[in-house]
Every structure is written in C-alpha cells, then in structure tokens.
Amino acid sequence: MGDKRPKSFYILAAVFIVYVLFLYGPMFAIFTLSFQGPEGGLTFPMNGVSLHWFRKVFEGNGVVNIGAAFKRSLALGSVVMIITVVLSVAAGMAFRKGFKGAAVLFYTAIASLIMPSIITSLGIALEFRLFDDVMINHANDLGLGWLAEGWTTAMGLFTSGLGAHLTWTLPFGLLIMFAIFNRFDGRLEEAARDLGATPWQTFRHVVLPIILPSVVGIGLFGFTLSWDELARSSQAIGSVNTLPLELQGLTTTVTKPDIYALGTITSAVSFLVIFIALFIIQFLQARQRRHGSDAGKGLV
C-alpha cells in the first residue's frame, strides 16, 4: 500500500460524508424547527425564533403529563443501567472460568437479542396477565388470600417493564464482555494469583481497573437503550407510559412543533449521557496510560 491515496479513497470518503449527513441531517432539522416562533408550523421556513414550544412542553398540553413520563424513563433507565452492568460483568467473569450451561446462556442471550420485540412484549404481557388471573381467582385455594386482597396487577414499570428492557440490554452487555475478554491478557490474573491475591482482590485490583472503560460502555448501552426503548415496552409496561411511548402516541395527534421540542429535549438527555460516558472512558484510558506500565522507565 503506497503513500498516495488511491482514487477510490476519495469516492468512498464522499460516500461516507453523504452517509453521515443522511444520519444526522434529519435530526438537526427537527432540533432547528423546535425553536420555531409561536406562529411557526411543522415545516420550514422558520417563522421567527423562540423557546415557545419548549415552554409548552413543560406546561403540559393537558393530554399527557410529559414531566412524569420523563421522570419515569429516567428512573427506569438508571435502574436498567445498574442491573445491566452488574449482571453483565458477573456473567462475563463466569464465562471466563467456563461453566456447565455456558452455551445455553449464550444462545439464550443471542435469541433474546434478535427475537422480534413484539413477541417478547406479548409474552411478558401474557405471563403477567395469567399471573394476575391466578392471584385474583385462585389465591385463596393456594393459601395466599392475605396477599391477593385488593390485587389488581403485578404489571408495572419496575416489574414487567424492567424485565422487558433487560431482555434487550443484557445481550448487548454480555456481547461487550465477550469482546473485552477476547482481548484480555490472562497472564495478568495469573500474576496476581501467584503474588497471593484472593480471587476478589484479583478482580478488584487487577481485572476491574483494566476493563473499567468498557464497563462504562456497557452502562452507556444500558441507559440509552432503555431510555429509547419502545417496541418491547409497548405491551409490557402496564398502565403508565415511558417517554418514547408518549412520543409515539403524539405522532398521530400533534400537529404543532411541540413534538419537535420534546424530541430535542429527549435527544439532549441522550447526548448528555453519551458525552459524559465518552468523557469518563477517555479519562480512564488516559489514567491507565499514565499509571499502567512503568516498562522502560528505569528503576524508581
């Protein structure tokens, strides 16, 4: 491969630029349009510039309570993020040792990832409906009458909703753990063991610091995938809605730019989380480079 760029480079670079414009262009169109003046409509041209539509979103337009949905999504996303990180790292460590049933767990995770979301969502809805049915009609036979008194449903944000989101985020977390450990130097663990470290000390002081940047990446996937999740939540969330579900509902009814303003706010949260995560990853990697190795630095 010579130093001079071949002609194909420039053609492909142009294709890449067009692709990036295609990815981002429409998003920036609605970010811009969300600053429409009070008289502005759903399309260009801009009719003045204002924060009018953001104010409308925060005031609420009477139909849906956006503020509450916002908080619900934020809370659910945070819980999903924490569970995804903890369970993925734990399972990743298990796969490193190897265990009976490893292949089963792996293929279950892959199946969960590529299962059409509507099927997962329907299944969870059925599971909870049947459970509610048992609680309401048969609890006394099972001696659970005390529990079933006034029972309405077990479905909810942090039961069926949380489960639905985890079927989507955990496979990503597990795949990232696989990618990490495929590039992990096992000799570091052996060295720690030889120096007398307990398994927990080896994990805490050797493995975790090395994989930490990627673990932050798992957290990033966990939060953003939950924050934007729609298809799996649709049937399995119970009586309350998350922000994406409210947004989807608004697409058919709203004809004013407040939907763009809501889109801009939602995306702003996504971008904020992405940049915080990328910043932390950068910071951790820089620290690793500083402290990671003293090879070639002579005696200290």
One of 210, 212, 231, 280 touching other proteins (CB under 8 A): 231
One of 68, 74, 105, 154 touching other proteins (CB under 8 A): 105
CB 34 within 8 A of CB 264: yes
One of 66, 120, 214, 226 touching other proteins (CB under 8 A): 120
Distances 242 to 31, 55, 76, 115, 122 between C-alpha atoms, Å: 21, 20, 9, 22, 17
Nearer to other proteins, 182 or 297 (CB): 182
Q: Is 147 in the site for other proteins (CB under 8 A)?
A: no
Site string for other proteins, 179-218 (x = CB under 8 A): x--x----------------x-------------------
Q: Is 46 in the site for other proteins (CB under 8 A)?
A: no
One of 228, 256, 284, 288 touching other proteins (CB under 8 A): 228
| Radius of gyration of the CA atoms of the chain, in A | 25
Nearer to other proteins, 222 or 297 (CB): 222
**DSSP secondary structure letters along 82-112:** HHHHHHHHHHHHHHHH--TTHHHHHHHHHHH
Interface region with other proteins, contact rule CB under 8 A, candidates 118-126, 139-147, 148-156, 287-295: 118-126
- Dihedral sign from CA coordinates of 192, 195, 196, 201: negative
Distances 25 to 32, 40, 252 between C-alpha atoms, Å: 11, 20, 23
State the nearest-atom distance from the C-beta of 152 to other proteins, in Å: 16
Tokens, residue 171? 């496979």
Residues between 252 and 271 that touch other proteins (CB under 8 A): 252, 259-260, 263, 266-267, 270-271
One of 37, 38, 44, 201 touching other proteins (CB under 8 A): 44
Q: E strands, the chain, where?
A: none
Nearer to other proteins, 44 or 283 (CB): 44
Residue 298's φ and ψ, nearest 5 degrees, are 80, -175
Nearer to other proteins, 78 or 108 (CB): 108
One of 68, 74, 93, 210 touching other proteins (CB under 8 A): 93
- Residues shown for the chain: 300
Q: Is 23 in the site for other proteins (CB under 8 A)?
A: yes
Torsion of CA 154, 159, 161, 166, to 10 degrees: -150
Interface region with other proteins, contact rule CB under 8 A, candidates 56-64, 123-131, 139-147, 149-157: 123-131
Distances 266 to 9, 36, 116, 205, 262 between C-alpha atoms, Å: 37, 17, 25, 37, 6
Site string for other proteins, 279-298 (x = CB under 8 A): --------------------
Q: How many CB atoms lie within 10 A of CB 33?
A: 23
- Dihedral sign from CA coordinates of 243, 248, 253, 256: positive
Residues between 48 and 87 that touch other proteins (CB under 8 A): 86-87
